[in-house]
Amino acid sequence: MNVLVQNCKIYNDASCDISADGQLLAAFIPSSQRGFPDEGILAVYSLAPHNLGEMLYTKRFGPNAISVSLSPMGRYVMVGLASRRILLHPSTEHMVAQVFRLQQAHGGETSMRDQRCHAHKELGKTPVQTSNDQQPALLEALDY
C-alpha cells in the first residue's frame, strides 16, 4: 500500500477527486506556513506508475475552498467555495466556484491558471470569465 498524501483536509466526500483516466489525484492539504489556521493548498498529485505520488500542481486557498473536481480530460480543476454570508436576494455575481486550467506542472502558484465562475440563474449555463479575453463562456466549453 502506498500513502500518497500524509495530511489532507477532508470536509466531505467532494474534498478530493481522481481524474477519469486515473492519472491525477486532487486534494486539499494544510499549509506548511504558520499563517491563517484554516488556510490550505489544493494539490494535484500524479497517480501514473513512473511518478506515483509526485505533486504536480498547487494553488493556495483560504478557508472557503471545500470541494474539488477534476474535468473528464484532466485539464481543468473546479474548486467549490463555501458561502460564509447569508444571501437575502439571489445574485448572479455570487462566486460559488473557481475553475483553474492545469497548465504548468511543478510551477508552484503559477501551475494553475484562474478562470472565474459565478452563479447563474439558468442551470447548466454557468458563465466563466477567462483571464485572457474576458469574454463569458459556458462552463461546458471548459470540458466539464
- Whether 8 is in a domain gets the answer no
Is 48 part of any domain?
A: yes
* Residue 1 belongs to some domain of the structure: no
- Compute CA 83 distance to the chain's CA centroid, rounded to the nearest angstrom: 16
**Structure-block grid coordinates of residue 12:** 466531505
9: in domain: no
For residue range 6-39, list pLDDT tens digits in order: 676 777 777 889 999 999 999 988 876 655 556 7
pLDDT surpasses 80 at 67? yes
Task: Please provide residue 3's backbone torsions phi and psi, each rounded to the nearest 5 degrees.
Answer: -100, 115
Tell me if 60 sits within 8 A of 33, measured CB to CB. no
Position 80 in a domain: yes
Query: For the chain, how many structural domains are there in total?
Result: 1
Whole-prediction pTM: 0.68
Residues 6+ apart with CB under 8 A from 103: 111, 112, 113
